[in-house]
């Protein structure tokens, strides 16, 4: 299907088409399509832009990644399909940041497909294709990790994550940065540092913030972050967007076109050809 760039929802349609193609190739599972639709609904409620609260969280997250000794970004099928380039950009912006494949619906073929997408985007080393460790107390395939990656990370960036693994990582004493558009999700409410923003916007901001921080010459630290305040700010942003939408004037309804009366047969003034 060809998409017109002049369509008012062009970007959304292009993302959907990309995900559908990734699903046909096996990179994304059908459950991932459902998860994306749910997230897009929350982006509508946020006005499809990064709120001031999200930007504060992203700046602090960039500092945490720079301050970490072993930072890791976890990548699943949706992340690889939607934001492989942004992941590669973030890996370049944060020295020592490693990318690891981690899948809820795991097969060897899917793990290889995610790694291939990351390598094509510019990530030189991808962990997790052949897991070498397992997180205790986690029954899903999310528990399979790399001993040199998530298993030893002190800060984990987990975009589009499930709450169970977020809780398992925190139980191990690891700091978790989550990217999730739903401020009410278990992931957002469990993470040490929840970022309520759209995936590609958030990753792009993290990379730019990390580069700015490094240029500034300041020392990055794992400073405290008020996760509850960040989630409350996201909910206020949603309420504000809904209030603005409710108060906005409705667009005028198009007037129905009145059909021109057709003159009856034999009406004077209408020319008729004579045989």
Find the domain containing 220 and state its range: 52-236
Q: How far apart are CA 208 and CA 273, in angstroms?
A: 76
- What pLDDT sits at residue 8? 61
Give a yes or no: residue 245 inside a domain: no
Give a yes or no: residue 78 inside a domain: yes
Mean pLDDT by 10 residues, the chain (275 residues): 64 79 86 83 93 98 98 95 96 97 94 97 97 91 95 96 90 96 95 97 98 96 98 97 89 68 58 48
Give a yes or no: residue 96 inside a domain: yes
Per the structure, the count of domains in the chain is: 1
Q: How many CB atoms lie within 10 A of CB 254?
A: 6
Q: Is 98 exposed, middle or buried (0-12, 13-18, 19+ CB in 10 A)?
A: buried
Q: How many CB atoms lie within 10 A of CB 95?
A: 11
Check which CATH number belongs to the domain holding 115 and give it: 3.40.50.12640
- What pLDDT sits at residue 110? 94
Give a yes or no: residue 270 inside a domain: no
Give a yes or no: residue 113 inside a domain: yes
Give a yes or no: residue 215 inside a domain: yes
- What pLDDT sits at residue 172? 94
- What pLDDT sits at residue 54? 98
Give a yes or no: residue 123 inside a domain: yes
Give a yes or no: residue 247 inside a domain: no
**Degrees to nearest 5, angle at CA 263 with 260 and 267:** 155
């Amino acid at each position: 299907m060809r998409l017109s760039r002049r369509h008012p929802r062009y970007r959304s349609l292009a993302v959907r088409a990309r995900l559908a193609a990734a699903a046909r190739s096996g990179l994304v599972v059908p459950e991932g399509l459902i998860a994306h639709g749910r997230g897009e609904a929350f982006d509508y409620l946020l006005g499809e832009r990064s709120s001031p609260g999200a930007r504060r969280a992203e700046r602090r997250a960039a500092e945490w990644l720079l301050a970490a000794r072993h930072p890791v970004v976890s990548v699943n099928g949706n992340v690889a399909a939607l934001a492989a380039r942004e992941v590669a950009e973030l890996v370049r912006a944060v020295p020592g940041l490693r990318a690891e494949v981690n899948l809820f619906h795991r097969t060897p073929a899917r793990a290889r497909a995610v790694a291939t997408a990351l390598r094509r985007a510019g990530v030189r080393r991808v962990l997790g294709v052949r897991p070498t460790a397992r997180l205790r107390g986690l029954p899903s395939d999310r528990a399979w990790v790399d001993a040199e990656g998530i298993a030893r990370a002190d800060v984990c960036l987990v975009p589009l994550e499930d709450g169970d693994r977020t809780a398992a990582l925190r139980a191990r004493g690891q700091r978790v940065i989550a990217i999730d558009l739903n401020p009410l999700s278990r992931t957002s409410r469990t993470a040490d540092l929840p970022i309520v923003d759209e995936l590609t916007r958030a990753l792009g901001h993290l990379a730019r913030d990390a580069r700015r921080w490094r240029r500034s010459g300041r020392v990055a630290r794992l400073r405290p972050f008020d996760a509850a305040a960040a989630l409350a700010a996201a909910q206020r942003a949603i309420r504000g967007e809904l209030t603005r939408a409710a108060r906005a004037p409705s667009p005028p309804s198009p007037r129905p076109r009145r059909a021109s009366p057709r003159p009856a047969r034999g009406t004077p003034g209408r020319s008729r050809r004579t045989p």
